[in-house]
Structure 1
Amino acid sequence: MPTSRRTVLAGTGALGASIAFSGDLSELFAGTAFAQEAGRSGYGPLVPDPDGLLDLPKGFRYRVLSREGDPLRSGQGEVPSNPDGMAAFAGRHGGVNLVRNHENRHTAAIRVPAVKGITYDPMGMGGCTSLALDRRGRVIGEQVAIAGTSTNCAGGPTPWGTWLTCEEIEDRAGTNGYTKDHGFIFEVDPSDPRRTGAVPLTAMGRFQHEAIAVDPGRGVVYETEDAFDRPFGLFYRFLPKRPHGGLGSLRAGGRLQAMRVPGVPDLSSVQETGTSFSGVEWVDVPDPLAQSTPVRLQDFGPKGITHAQKLEGCYWGGSCVYFVSSYARSREGSAADHFGQIWRYEPAAGRLTLVVVFGPGTDVQLPGEEPDNICLAPSGGLMVCEDGAGAQHVFGVTRRGEVYAMARGRQNLGTEEAPEWGEFAGVTFSPDHDTMYVNCYTPGTTFAVTGPW
């Protein structure tokens, strides 16, 4: 069986933090664009930032691209609160187009400004903004990309260069002041938002969406659901009628299905890495619009359906889709406890495998729990946004399973005696792999990190 690996992080900003991993992380990167290993377990200790924003290893530097409350360069209003999921696309003349979610609920401090032609529900305060960067990484444009949505948590890029932004909510019209139903996926063109407008992709389901990943060969879209209460969320696939149609093709509709693992009603009950299940079934969702009953509560037949707590990150690698269960807590209704899992589904074989288990190596109050957004790193490993207690880090994980601190947030939201830090979100890399972009959720800040990757 795969062996356990543990690294205790030492040095400024990470003393005492630890993560335990079970599983063989090298298999996560087989067939992906990042095929080489850095040959080291990180980039050294974090250096305290004299400006009190972001600690990084020696040789790395950051640039603040955008801050909550600053004016948008488009003149459309202020930079909204709560930046979350994010992706980077190739822009003009060697530049980058960065699209960024804002997980604003109806109580948001700074809403995404409503803009004619790209606003879904005037009472929705969430949405996306996009930044245009030149080849030197300088911001040359910043605008609203979609408005009038709510609780835009994560999403994912498409093979044709758009962003699918996901609403992590299922409020109906008339709830919390909304004038339209919410809980949808929307397609966003980061370079020209008016091409996509604000049209909900209703066939892809109405539920508490988290993230998506597209199979570039088959065109299938995989979706995670981060439900807040029992029964927990489901793992879905969407079979589009036009699987390779490009921009706007998902509006043509398709079939939404949920994953059933025979004999496994709750994925948290599986604890041993390498455990594999063949014969995974996909069951049609009876009512994707959840007109009377939330999808996860609908009748999937006598065999039921497979649930999991906190289904979050999702990405495509090689010939497989990987998805994250951020944690499971038996006191909240899960079958068992864990501090994070990564699952792999192989469509060709119909096989699901638990490949990685996260967990704190010392104290559950220390960093190392609740992996949230993840992405592949240029070194051939993972970057993981931690969403746990205490200090907040972006952790790197090498292909050998060694863990290191890549960044630590320094913006104290509390007091000197009782400090608090905002979580990281939306970690992603530029198309040339030279720059890491990441958001601090609170106070809303978008960073660009460069250095000897």
Structure 2
Amino acid sequence: MTVTRRQVLATSGALGAAGITFTGAVEELFGGSEPAARAAAAVGGTDGYGPLVPDPKGILDLPRGFRYTILSREGRPLRSGQGKVPGNHDGMTALPGRGRDELWLVRNHENRPTARNPVPAVKGITYDPAAKGGCTTIGLSGGKVRTERVAIAGTAVNCAGGPTPWGTWLTCEEDESKAGTNGYSKDHGFIFEVDPYRGRTDAKPFTAMGRFQHEAVAVDPHSGIVYETEDAFAHPFGLFYRFLPRRPKGGFGSLHAGGRLEALRVPGVPDLSVVRKAGTSFDKVEWVKVPDPLARQTPIRLQDFGKGGITHAQKLEGCYWGDDRVYFVSSYARSREGSGADHFGQVWSYEPRRNRLTLVIVFGPGTDVNKPGESPDNICLAPQGGLMVCEDGGGEQFVYGVTRRRRVYPMARNRQNIGTPQAPEYGEFAGATFSPDGRTMFVNVYAPGTTFAITGPWHRGTGR
């Protein structure tokens, strides 16, 4: 299959403001570990792992040599006996277990009040009985499912989140509804914590981390600072935040000690979409204290940040830590919806030690909605070097990769048609994550909610 859509990365147009430099940021993103990068470079030749092979079962197309296993599917019984597997599978992480071949998957369910398969309410770990979202955990041993249970319930629209250095999962609500709206009995828009090892759940929100439409988080393991993205649906769009905890050494529940929430300001740049040239860097970004993190009267993105305002971006989604910096994604920008410019997806990096923000890569342009490359969402670094991206756009849905040469290639295609033969629809991919040993990629399909384990010759790398 030839990839033609949005694999050409935007390289034209730049801002002429002071304090902007051009750097080779793409190599920083796709380097992977040094031994793995050398091994991948030795492969040479092709981009990716070859063309996708049609799945005779009509479920998941993969390159030759790769195989999938369905670990969990919406509507089937949970092994815990707590009810059915919830739907709307979204963000996910893979955390090592105690044994050599054991690990835990922690999976979000982006359920709204009308969800067909809600997260079952379980005594002691339910925040708001009226809310239908939450998390489930899957315990694996030797690659096989041993346990599957509810980890937290009664939260709203759990989209993404992020793992912590102390081995837990922070799950985020992409909903800022207040008590009394949408049938809810409590305020929403918070972050909660799940500990899969000990079966602990903190059904109390970390209120100091802000109440807004959270998407994802990433924790700096050196400082304990938590970076947060906001996927606001209406103009003015979301902000990029950092939370400076009072207990930076972490530990389960440590974020309840509070801290300071700040939002990113790039002087002279009110909207990140206007930055067009990959490699553009800003060396003097600012962090501004959020006036009211609980958004008691006014959503945070609409609050008064003083002289200079604040910097917004449309569809701030994936967020992760790697290579001593935090990466975050703007899935797209549309000027007709209020953004300053148009793009099909950006990946940004922020280096705390240098206080430097860099536009690493821009996807686009393109028009064929039946080819991969639109609207990057959940995102992760592959252990062999390179990038894995879950697509959330129109038409067919892919997991696609980006090589160190900035070539886009398909890694998986969802073949499960949830529409009709005349008007096919396909659920987006979400939650791509690798096992600690790098031998398995786990990924979700949003609808029908399905969790896959993908194994194969990952050691071949992703091309140069």
- Please give the TM-score of this superposition, normalised by the length of structure 2: 0.92
| Equivalent in the alignment of 2:423 | 418
Of 120-129 and 375-384, more deviation after overlay is shown by 375-384
Gaps of 5+ in 1: 1-8
| Equivalent in the alignment of 1:192 | 198
Change (3 A) 1:17 1:375: same
Secondary structure at the residue paired with 1:27?
helix
Secondary structure at the residue paired with 1:20?
coil
2:356 to 351, 360, 364: 351
CA distance in 2, matches of 1:199, 1:33: 41
State how many pairs are aligned. Answer: 439
Superposed displacement of residue 196, structure 1? 2.9
User: 1:34 touches 1:380 (CA, 8 Å); kept in 2?
Assistant: no
Cα RMSD for the two superposed structures = 1.5
Amino acid at match of 1:20: V
CA distance in 2, matches of 1:361, 1:127: 36
Q: Is 1:74 aligned to residue 62 of structure 2? A: no
| Equivalent in the alignment of 1:253 | 258
Superposed displacement of residue 17, structure 1? 4.5
The superposition leaves residues 348-379 of structure 1 with CA deviations (integer Å, 9 ceiling, x where unpaired) of: 12111111001144536643110001111132
| Equivalent in the alignment of 1:95 | 102
Q: Is 1:52 aligned to residue 55 of structure 2? A: no
CA distance in 2, matches of 1:309, 1:187: 26
User: 1:169 touches 1:209 (CA, 8 Å); kept in 2?
Assistant: yes
Q: Is 1:340 aligned to residue 345 of structure 2? A: yes
Equivalence map 1:205-354=2 (5 Å) = 205-354=210-359
Q: Is 1:145 aligned to residue 151 of structure 2? A: yes
Secondary structure at the residue paired with 1:70?
coil
| Equivalent in the alignment of 1:21 | 9
CA distance in 2, matches of 1:165, 1:34: 33
Secondary structure at the residue paired with 1:359?
coil
CA distance in 1, matches of 2:274, 2:157: 29
CA distance in 2, matches of 1:339, 1:31: 25
Identity, % of aligned positions: 72
Change (3 A) 1:222 1:64: same
**Structure 1 runs (4+) greater than 4 angstroms displaced:** 30-35
CA distance in 2, matches of 1:32, 1:309: 31
Of 313-322 and 251-260, more deviation after overlay is shown by 313-322
Q: Is 1:167 aligned to residue 173 of structure 2? A: yes
Change (3 A) 1:215 1:397: same
Amino acid at match of 2:27: S
Change (3 A) 1:231 1:134: same
2:207 to 202, 205, 210: 202
Superposed displacement of residue 417, structure 1? 2.1
| Equivalent in the alignment of 1:4 | none
Of 287-296 and 274-283, more deviation after overlay is shown by 274-283
Superposed displacement of residue 260, structure 1? 0.6
Superposed displacement of residue 167, structure 1? 0.3
Superposed displacement of residue 192, structure 1? 2.9
- Please give the TM-score of this superposition, normalised by the length of structure 1: 0.94
Superposed displacement of residue 267, structure 1? 0.6
Change (3 A) 1:317 1:349: same
Secondary structure at the residue paired with 2:340?
coil
1:120 to 127, 143, 147: 127
CA distance in 2, matches of 1:263, 1:18: 29
Superposed displacement of residue 33, structure 1? 7.9
CA distance in 2, matches of 1:296, 1:267: 14
User: 1:167 touches 1:185 (CA, 8 Å); kept in 2?
Assistant: yes
Superposed displacement of residue 400, structure 1? 1.9
CA distance in 2, matches of 1:177, 1:33: 52
Amino acid at match of 1:27: E
2:161 to 155, 163, 176: 155
CA distance in 2, matches of 1:252, 1:34: 40
Of 223-232 and 398-407, more deviation after overlay is shown by 398-407
Change (3 A) 1:437 1:159: same
Superposed displacement of residue 32, structure 1? 5.3
Amino acid at match of 1:58: R
User: 2:174 touches 2:214 (CA, 8 Å); kept in 1?
Assistant: yes
1:129 to 136, 152, 175: 136
User: 1:231 touches 1:307 (CA, 8 Å); kept in 2?
Assistant: yes
User: 2:6 touches 2:374 (CA, 8 Å); kept in 1?
Assistant: no
2:182 to 176, 184, 208: 176
Secondary structure at the residue paired with 2:363?
strand
User: 2:6 touches 2:344 (CA, 8 Å); kept in 1?
Assistant: no
Point out which structure has higher relative CO (alpha carbons under 8 A, 6+ apart): 2
Change (3 A) 1:448 1:31: closer
Q: Is 1:379 aligned to residue 384 of structure 2? A: yes
The superposition leaves residues 272-310 of structure 1 with CA deviations (integer Å, 9 ceiling, x where unpaired) of: 112111211111101000011100011100211000000
